[in-house]
Amino acid sequence: MQRIRFMLKQFLKEPLWYKILISTTLLISIIFSSSYFSYNPYYQSFSKLAAAIFFGAYGIKLKSNRKTSIILLFISALCIYLSILAIYK
């Protein structure tokens, strides 16, 4: 619980553009991955790209913790790969 509070406090200290970027990419990823948009591969691809931006932004932000940063950047690259696969499927 303390870790969640710490992350929330860190998020609130960030500049406005970063808060908007993280919030919109998370929201877009959740909305376009819903079952309503599952029939169009472009929406699924867009959802995965938004997730990649989300994980990449946090991966770059947490670069002081190398292990966490590498994991998040790997997940970001995986989301980009899955986004490309969703279009050409």
Nearby residues of 76 by Cβ (< 8 Å), 6 or more positions away: 52, 53, 55, 56, 59
pTM, rounded to two decimals = 0.85
The span from the CA of 61 to the CA of 73, in Å, is 11
pLDDT of 4 over the 80 cut: yes
- Residues 7-65 have pLDDT tens digits of 888 888 989 999 999 999 989 888 888 877 777 888 888 899 999 999 999 899 888 88
Nearest to 28 by CA among 8, 58, 60, 52: 52
Query: Who's near 68: CB < 8 A, 6+ residues apart?
Result: 59, 62
Given the structure tokens 């909305």, which residue do they identify? Answer: 31
What pLDDT is stored for residue 11 in this prediction? 84
